[in-house]
Structure 1
Amino acid sequence: MLKHLFAIAILGSLTTVHAKSDKPNILFIFADDMSYETIGAYGLLDIDTPHLDKMVEAGTTFTHAYNMGAYNGAVCVASRAMLNTGRFVWNTYAHDTGPKMKKEVQDRRMWSQLMNKAGYRTYMTGKWHVKAKPEDIFDVAVHERPGMPNQTPEGYNRPVDEEDYKNGWKPWETKYEGFWKGGKHWSEVVADDSIDFLNDAKTHDEPFFMYLAFNAAHDPRQAPKEYVDRYPLDRVKLPENFVPKYKYQDEIGCGEELRDARLAPFPRTEYSVKVNRQEYFALITHMDDQIGRILKALEETGQADNTYIVFTADHGLAIGHHGLIGKQNMYDHSVRVPFMVVGPNVKKGEKNNAPIYLQDIMPTALDLAGAPIPDDVEFKSLLPMLNGKKKHYDSIYGAYKGQQRMICKDDWKFIHYPTANANRLYNMNADPFEQNDLAMNPEYAAKVKELKTDLLELSADLSDPLDYNNPAESWKKATPSKKQKTTH
């Protein structure tokens, strides 16, 4: 039986009524470089995110949502390719080339195309960073953004000290462009576009699927001055696991050759990390206000009651944790993301601690749409978990190029650095900030052996191209000979 939603425009005595589909709308809001800890309601950081906090109150939070990894320095490329194809990381790697991705589009099997087949009008704005043209796979696509806003030399190796900050780059100065390129902050443009989409959607009978992708909180971390001023440095706390230099930074690809790592000076200082975190928090709070505008428009257009809203990010970010700045590592601050679901029959104020992958939202949306989930979609619908099932995954896998591998299982995280021949072991329940490495403790030798075995088996199951006995050579063979230019 069809439900009916009414879009009513009253001009004098004129009333227009539109019959709507009984299928729910899907509003997907996607952030960039946003760690799981950066939601104020989680109580982990002193950060202002009132609108995202309301989503936590209004729906179910998956507290342990992970990105599976990346095959290049631009972690977002792999994350977004997995999201839009539904394949696990190494099967995505096999398809993440121009010709093969083009066939994905021709076969109409990208996420938005599958939603379109299910009867949805599809919209997209913001960061895309997938090797396919959004105008080929969405009904409406505007303001497609590149992997990151344009960079300037002044935005790197900063700030060295207070004098350097005083005389140098400021996040609110529009002359450096970046998020300000085009005259209006890109987060505000995403919100403007989203409101236009919602006003358009209320005039159509089809349900909508909106893919709203912020570039925030990616660097350059630029926000209006009033947002930066909300975070004086005495409000910004240093991470508990701060160190000036990560022990294995060079062996695992996180040293001075990595673009992200060069944003702050080496070795890391308390001052530079605090300033980088100040600007990170300011950009997130500014984005949160734009999300508030979107959610208000959803209510005002009368479409909220039949809409599922999902908020997550493509991966996290270190910003000073463990002496790291970027996302190219296996620590929770970089592999875990916020993940909230709000909508009809979703439990309010609920926390689900079972591990998931952020890309599980793709088959979840298809499930909500009553659409078939293709056989080659490897991620799993979260509907059973929203309805009470305990968990989908016994363990979580993570990878970065040929240099890092990870398995999370029960209370344990095991990290292996193949090219450094080094391990790290953490009890995540007792040591959530991953400060006490137990890998070399003889008492845990059996646990290291057990998890290394589990990691090898999981790698084989996931078609990992890495030969753990010959990591450098096997990764070289697995990497395309012609390097693809990507931005982080």
Structure 2
Amino acid sequence: MKKYKIVVLVVAGLGMAGAATLAETKKPNILFIFADDMSYETIGAHGLLDIDTPHLDTLVEGGASFTHAYNMGAWGGAVCVASRKMLNTGLFVWRSQNADLGQCVGDGGMWSQRMGKAGYRTYMSGKWHVPTSAPKIFDVAKNVRPGMPNQVPSGYNRPKDEADYEQGWKPWDTTHNGYWKGGKHWSEVLADDSVEFLEQAAKDDQPFFMYLAFNAPHDPRQAPKEYIDRYPLDRIKVPENMLPEYPYAEEACGKGLRDEKLAPYPRTEYAVKVNRQEYFALITHMDDQIGKILEALEKTGQAENTYIFFSADHGLAVGHHGFIGKQNMYEHSMRPPFLMVGPGVKAGSRIDAPIYLQDVMPTALDLADAGTEGIDFQSLLPLVKGKTSKHYDAIYGAYMGNQRMVIKEGWKLIAYPNIGIKRLYHLDKDPQEMNDLAASPEYATKLKQLSIELEKEMDAQDDPMSSIAAADFPKAPKKKK
């Protein structure tokens, strides 16, 4: 496996005193690498799945893994939009939904603009999916991509069986365009842009902020055939919590939701294995592109003064609990990976405190001495420096008016307000969320406690639903405190 100086030699040997010395000479560079639809479990070094991610594994070895990073949810089916708007404004989900991006841009309040005002040269390539112009708020922007590569009808409801697979859509078929549109796989284009940016930045006296956003591994999950071949179906295990159909699938997000139509109902072991095969292959292909970026960072001599962050906009089910998409409140879909590497970050460390992935924004601003006024999310530096072991009192999640979630002290409550259903899980003992305790008299007190906590979080988050019992999203104004 390739060993990068940035994570193995520099980061492992550089303490906070060394970080301070670097900061005195030049502000640290910020390299943010962002995936799309990538669950926390899909990095090989974490030991949860049989998947090849040697370059991300190197980041795990060289820095800190935040094991419980969450997306806060979404106000619509395109969870990516909500996640990325939160990320770039720094605002919690409902305040982000209501934020006037024209005003945010005009005030210079977007992440890249704040970095620019702090003296950074800002670069962007890849998926944007925020309803404002990336070229207007980054100094350099190339190959700005839409929410997803184009899908085709034959990419849905597949595969029904082996014969259907043989005759149907293939991930390496370039005639469907998708990631191949333009002649070169979009992940490879992003790697090329990133290398070019790093070479430019090496000639500049300004520190850099790079926002490098893969569309991968979002569907259509297309990768070169040699990557598919690395994952024969007998290597793929179906999730332990796989279901043919989630009992509240229609009420949670709708069986007709685009993401859920990628595989046929009822879910079968064969269909889930094929979808996971293509998912893993696209991740491994992306990982190789990340390797090119890390190598360029080292070659251009900028590694020692660079913080690298890797995460994704949310997770993805791909068979867990009978879901294929991310429009649910389960861990596989709410939690992306989150890695931080850089001066003073302890190599090979784990931080288990629950965070939000969007905490990367104020963390980068903290490192840049850029100020975090008006930001809802919290810097991770107190956790990284060992000054605290707790970050948020509770973790909140929401999906439109259909679902709400709260996590506190190892317990999770999921609520479906429209049908009056609640599900209770003890995550510390049941990480796969297979044992719903909501109907058990033994846990009635815990259910009540978390129900109160959820209402408290809904108030704190300016949730447009007045209460779970009212299920009035978005018909009634928010109740006043």
TM range, normalised to the smaller chain? over 0.9
Give the 3-state SS of the residue equivalent to 1:414 in structure 2: strand
Distance, in Å, in 2 between the alignment partners of 1:71 and 1:43 is 33
| Equivalence for 1:87 | 91
| Equivalence for 2:329 | 330
Q: Any conservation in 2 of the 1:171–1:221 contact (CA below 8 Å)?
A: yes
How far 1:468 sits from its partner (Å)? 2.6
Are the structure 2 counterparts of residues 90 and 364 from structure 1 closer, same or farther at C-alpha, using a change threshold of 3 Å? same
Distance, in Å, in 2 between the alignment partners of 1:56 and 1:37 is 13
Q: Which amino acid aligns with 2:167?
A: N
| Equivalence for 2:151 | 151
How far 1:478 sits from its partner (Å)? 7.5
Distance, in Å, in 2 between the alignment partners of 1:464 and 1:473 is 11
How far 1:253 sits from its partner (Å)? 1.5
Alignment of 1:307 onto 2:311: no
Are the structure 2 counterparts of residues 45 and 469 from structure 1 closer, same or farther at C-alpha, using a change threshold of 3 Å? closer
Distance, in Å, in 2 between the alignment partners of 1:299 and 1:471 is 56
Distance, in Å, in 1 between the alignment partners of 2:288 and 2:427 is 33
Q: Any conservation in 2 of the 1:60–1:342 contact (CA below 8 Å)?
A: yes
Q: Any conservation in 1 of the 2:158–2:262 contact (CA below 8 Å)?
A: yes
Q: Which amino acid aligns with 1:327?
A: K
| Equivalence for 2:44 | 40
Q: Any conservation in 1 of the 2:420–2:469 contact (CA below 8 Å)?
A: no
Q: How does 1:165-314 map to 2 (within 5 A)?
A: 165-255=165-255, 257-314=256-313
Q: Any conservation in 2 of the 1:198–1:301 contact (CA below 8 Å)?
A: yes
Distance, in Å, in 2 between the alignment partners of 1:123 and 1:377 is 22
| Equivalence for 1:6 | none
How far 1:475 sits from its partner (Å)? 2.1
Q: Which amino acid aligns with 2:242?
A: F
How far 1:467 sits from its partner (Å)? 2.5
Distance, in Å, in 2 between the alignment partners of 1:349 and 1:252 is 38
How far 1:173 sits from its partner (Å)? 0.3
| Equivalence for 1:105 | 105
Q: Which amino acid aligns with 2:252?
A: I
| Equivalence for 2:19 | none
Distance, in Å, in 2 between the alignment partners of 1:347 and 1:302 is 21
Are the structure 2 counterparts of residues 456 and 281 from structure 1 closer, same or farther at C-alpha, using a change threshold of 3 Å? same
How far 1:66 sits from its partner (Å)? 0.3
| Equivalence for 1:321 | 320
Distance, in Å, in 2 between the alignment partners of 1:59 and 1:286 is 22
Deviation per CA, 1:1-56: give whole Å up to 9, x if none: xxxxxxxxxxxxxxxxxxx9610000000000000000000000000000000000
Give the 3-state SS of the residue equivalent to 1:337 in structure 2: coil
**TM-score, with length taken from structure 2:** 0.93
Deviation per CA, 1:67-92: give whole Å up to 9, x if none: 01100000010000000000000100
Deviation per CA, 1:223-264: give whole Å up to 9, x if none: 000000000000000000011000000011231x20000000
How far 1:151 sits from its partner (Å)? 1.1
Alignment of 1:58 onto 2:62: yes
Q: Which amino acid aligns with 2:75?
A: Y
Q: How does 1:14-25 map to 2 (within 5 A)?
A: 22-25=26-29
Q: Provide structure 1 residue ranges, at least 5 long, that are not aligned to the other structure.
A: 1-19, 480-488
How far 1:309 sits from its partner (Å)? 0.2
Q: Which amino acid aligns with 2:201?
A: A
Are the structure 2 counterparts of residues 478 and 276 from structure 1 closer, same or farther at C-alpha, using a change threshold of 3 Å? farther
Distance, in Å, in 1 between the alignment partners of 2:101 and 2:182 is 30
| Equivalence for 1:349 | 348
How far 1:133 sits from its partner (Å)? 0.3
Q: How does 1:472-487 map to 2 (within 5 A)?
A: 473-476=472-475
Give the 3-state SS of the residue equivalent to 1:144 in structure 2: strand
Q: How does 1:294-443 map to 2 (within 5 A)?
A: 294-374=293-373, 376-388=374-386, 389-443=388-442
Q: Any conservation in 2 of the 1:33–1:216 contact (CA below 8 Å)?
A: yes
Q: Any conservation in 2 of the 1:252–1:419 contact (CA below 8 Å)?
A: no
Q: Which amino acid aligns with 2:405?
A: M
How far 1:420 sits from its partner (Å)? 1.5
Q: Which amino acid aligns with 1:32?
A: D
Deviation per CA, 1:108-135: give whole Å up to 9, x if none: 1100000000000000000000011001
Q: Which amino acid aligns with 1:383?
A: L
How far 1:370 sits from its partner (Å)? 1.1
Q: How does 1:136-147 map to 2 (within 5 A)?
A: 136-147=136-147
| Equivalence for 2:8 | none
Q: Any conservation in 2 of the 1:252–1:420 contact (CA below 8 Å)?
A: no
Deviation per CA, 1:271-301: give whole Å up to 9, x if none: 0000000000000000000000000000000
Distance, in Å, in 1 between the alignment partners of 2:253 and 2:297 is 43
Distance, in Å, in 2 between the alignment partners of 1:363 and 1:315 is 18
Distance, in Å, in 1 between the alignment partners of 2:188 and 2:62 is 24
Distance, in Å, in 2 between the alignment partners of 1:52 and 1:471 is 45
How much identity, in percent, do the aligned residues show?
Answer: 65
How far 1:364 sits from its partner (Å)? 0.3
Q: Which amino acid aligns with 1:174?
A: T
Deviation per CA, 1:167-220: give whole Å up to 9, x if none: 000000000010010000000000000000000001110000000000000000
How far 1:474 sits from its partner (Å)? 3.1
Distance, in Å, in 2 between the alignment partners of 1:278 and 1:428 is 27
Give the 3-state SS of the residue equivalent to 1:109 in structure 2: coil
Give the 3-state SS of the residue equivalent to 1:435 in structure 2: coil
Q: Any conservation in 1 of the 2:415–2:468 contact (CA below 8 Å)?
A: no
Are the structure 2 counterparts of residues 300 and 237 from structure 1 closer, same or farther at C-alpha, using a change threshold of 3 Å? same
| Equivalence for 1:8 | none
Q: Provide structure 2 residue ranges, at least 5 long, that are not aligned to the other structure.
A: 1-23
Give the 3-state SS of the residue equivalent to 1:80 in structure 2: helix
Are the structure 2 counterparts of residues 254 and 265 from structure 1 closer, same or farther at C-alpha, using a change threshold of 3 Å? same
| Equivalence for 1:464 | 463
How far 1:373 sits from its partner (Å)? 1.1
Distance, in Å, in 2 between the alignment partners of 1:276 and 1:105 is 39
How far 1:58 sits from its partner (Å)? 0.2
